Amino acid sequence: MSTVTQRSARAMRPGGPAADSSSGAGLRWAALVAVLLLVSLLGAWVAGWFGSRVDPRVAEILDLQRQARETFAANGGPRTAVEATAAVAAMGQIRERIAALPEHLRPQAERSGESVFRTAMQARMEAYFSLPPEQRTAELDRQIDQEELMRKAFAAATAVTAAFRGPGGDAQAGGQQAGSGAAGQAGGAPGGPGGPGSRTEEERNRWRKSNILDRTSPEQRAEYTEYRRAMDARREKRGLPPGGPR
């Protein structure tokens, strides 16, 4: 066998130089891919993709939302003018905190507020449908009375802020404190709709689409439609305009 043939045979053997070179290159590529994957995972963690990292400012807002839910959602919501006023002030404080967040942090706090509002809305509907037909009118009256308490509290908070605004519409010194943070920001539950009767038709349609149509089944939407029809009919019978989320 010639020298050239012998060298070729050694190169083709698994333990030959060519195999060693190929194996080393494969290991280097594997190491590079592993490093890139590790860097990507680290970047995702820093960005909060895994949900383990919440900005302290957002965490504070989430805690305020939790406290408001525990305080004002008990017993079906505010039952007196004093409780309604306190609820509006709490909503205003939360809205101000959300508005003060950097833009990229707001969605998380707003989504939490929307979830709170949807849960409260579902509870109202369940309280209505869980009763026998002869008791449902009384439940509607209870809910309407609560809506009116909140509407008056929103109106009072707005009036307080308006009284502290200058001719150009800018809040004068002390205006924000006098309004308890509720007026001007009293558009409703954090991330949710405004107070009864306070929104335009376009705002109502946008809220209905994002919180009702896009997030519920056909059966749930039918139930919501029936509930709203009954609520509007009862409000009309009591001489009140349509109210509540629509």
Query: Can you say whether the dihedral through the CA atoms of 97, 103, 105, 109 is positive or negative?
Result: positive
Quick one: average pLDDT of 217-236? 91
Q: State the CB neighbour count (10 A cutoff) for residue 116.
A: 21
Closest alpha carbon to 235 in 244, 224, 225: 244
The phi, psi pair for 151, rounded to 5°, reads -60, -45
Q: Tens digits of per-residue pLDDT, 150-197?
A: 999 999 988 887 777 655 555 443 333 333 333 333 333 433 334 444
- For position 230, what pLDDT does the model report? 96
The Cα–Cα gap between 39 and 52 comes to 17
Across the strands, what pairs with 171? 165
The Cα–Cα gap between 205 and 237 comes to 25
- For position 182, what pLDDT does the model report? 34
Q: Which residue has the tokens 């083709």?
A: 12
Q: Extract the tokens encoding 83.
A: 């409780």
Report the range of poorest mean pLDDT among 41-50, 76-85, 114-123, 204-213. 41-50
Amino acid at 6: Q
In total, the chain counts a number of residues equal to: 246
**Secondary structure in 3-state letters for the chain:** CCHHHHHHHHHHCCCCHHHHHHHHHHHHHHHHHHHHHHHHHHHHHHCCCCCCCCCHHHHHHHHHHHHHHHHHCHHHCCCCHHHHHHHHHHHHHHHHHHHHCCHHHHHHHHHHHHHHHHHHHHHHHHHHHCCCHHHHHHHHHHHHHHHHHHHHHHHHHHHHHHHCECCCCCECCCHHHHCCCCCCCCCCCCCCCCCCCCCCHHHHHHHHHHHHHCCCCHHHHHHHHHHHHHHHHHHHHCCCCCCCCC
Model pTM above 0.75: no
- For position 46, what pLDDT does the model report? 47
Q: Tens digits of per-residue pLDDT, 93-142?
A: 999 999 999 999 998 888 888 887 788 888 899 999 999 999 999 999 99
Q: Which residue has the tokens 């043939």?
A: 5
Report the range of poorest mean pLDDT among 17-21, 28-32, 179-183. 179-183
Per cent of the chain over pLDDT 70 is 56
Q: Extract the tokens encoding 91.
A: 């909503």
Q: State the CB neighbour count (10 A cutoff) for residue 142.
A: 16
- Confidence label for 26 from pLDDT (cuts 50, 70 and 90): low
- For position 40, what pLDDT does the model report? 55
- For position 30, what pLDDT does the model report? 62
CA distances from 118 to 20, 38, 191 (A): 64, 39, 11
